[in-house]
């Protein structure tokens, strides 16, 4: 048997799965998004009609779509920088030559990443409980005002952001640690001899040397955070007053609660286009900052 034929035999199972259950559905989603696929079409495919861009047009006129998009952007714009700060801070602490028990701390800080989001969301919902949650109790005990964390429309999204930062920072922390370890030690040595302060070393050595890592981590985190769904599903059911309804939450409700699959596909595509545009813009901006 020649290697070319063997190669095809080796890749065919994976290609069938990916083609049939991923690439084909993606293309179908585009088709679906220009039809009025709903409960009637689900019952009998003959009820299906082509509606061109009507789904998209209708979405752009729905306040709920804009507020879902707003909440998602809020989650990304506030959550991503906080996540990256926490990750970088933890990585620098762990990377410090003065840190002790490094394997233990690394494991402890990473633990939330491998936990199941639904299960830890259940825990945090209990911790954030207004009446008997530990967080409000502690705030009260030290004389701080208590907060209706998940019940107040202004606080629900910040609370979910805090939860997401706790859950996810360990992931990027590991990548930042690898990036930090790749910075040559003699750069810091030379800076110390020149009398550079710790802050100056951070600004002029650490940050520039971490730039490629930072870009990759930012892009991964941004696209991950655009896919907000399980957290509001478990913690707030999209509320209060739909203040935590994200784009994917809207897609889920539109598609699998109301069975408007055409309109839900349009939601999915708009999210995809936005994610793609934001990622591309980040790549371009980072290239422009580089010396030619």
Residues 97-126 that bind other proteins (CB under 8 A): 98-100, 104-105, 107-112, 114-120, 122-126
**Which of 75, 87, 256 is CA-nearest to residue 171?**
87
- What φ, ψ does residue 103 adopt, rounded to 5°? -60, -40
The string of DSSP letters for 159-210 reads HHHHHHHHHHHHHHHHHHHHHHHTS-HHHHHHHHHTT--HHHHIIIIIHHHH
26 binds other proteins (CB under 8 A): yes
Residues 129-188 that bind other proteins (CB under 8 A): 129, 131-134, 137, 141, 166, 170-171, 174-175, 178-179
214 binds other proteins (CB under 8 A): no
Q: List Cβ neighbours of 242 (8 Å cut-off, separation of 6 or more).
A: 64, 67, 68
87 binds other proteins (CB under 8 A): no
Residues 238-277 that bind other proteins (CB under 8 A): 248, 251-252, 255-256, 261, 264-265, 268-269, 271-272, 275-276
195 binds other proteins (CB under 8 A): no
Residues 29-68 that bind other proteins (CB under 8 A): 29, 32
Beta bridge partners of 50: 35
Smaller CB separation from other proteins, 14 or 185: 14
24 binds other proteins (CB under 8 A): yes
Smaller CB separation from other proteins, 155 or 272: 272
* Rounded-to-10 torsion of CA 166, 167, 168, 169: 30
């Amino acid at each position: 048997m020649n290697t070319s034929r063997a190669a095809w035999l080796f890749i065919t199972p994976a290609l069938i799965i990916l083609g049939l259950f991923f690439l084909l559905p993606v293309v179908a989603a585009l088709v679906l998004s220009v039809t009025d696929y709903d409960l009637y079409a689900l019952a009998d495919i003959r009820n299906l009609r082509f509606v061109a861009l009507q789904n998209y047009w209708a979405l752009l006129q729905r306040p709920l779509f804009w507020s879902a998009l707003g909440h998602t952007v809020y989650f990304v714009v506030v959550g991503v920088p906080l996540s990256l700060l926490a990750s970088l801070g933890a990585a620098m602490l762990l990377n410090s030559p003065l840190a002790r028990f490094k394997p233990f701390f690394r494991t402890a800080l990473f633990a939330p990443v491998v936990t199941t989001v639904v299960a830890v969301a259940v825990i945090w919902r209990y911790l954030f409980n207004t009446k008997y949650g530990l967080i409000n109790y502690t705030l009260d005990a030290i004389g701080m005002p208590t907060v209706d964390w998940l019940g107040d429309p202004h606080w629900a999204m910040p609370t979910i952001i805090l939860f997401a930062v706790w859950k996810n920072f360990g992931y990027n922390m590991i990548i930042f640690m690898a990036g930090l370890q790749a910075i040559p030690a003699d750069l810091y040595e030379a800076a110390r001899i020149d009398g550079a302060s710790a802050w100056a070393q951070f600004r002029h050595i650490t940050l520039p040397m971490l730039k490629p890592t930072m870009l990759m981590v930012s892009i991964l985190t941004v696209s991950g955070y655009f896919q907000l769904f399980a957290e509001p599903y478990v913690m707030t059911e999209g509320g209060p007053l739909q203040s935590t309804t994200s784009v994917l939450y809207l897609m889920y409700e539109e598609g699998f609660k109301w069975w408007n699959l055409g309109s839900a596909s349009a939601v999915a595509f708009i999210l995809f286009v936005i994610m793609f545009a934001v990622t591309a813009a980040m790549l371009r901006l980072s290239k422009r900052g580089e010396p030619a």
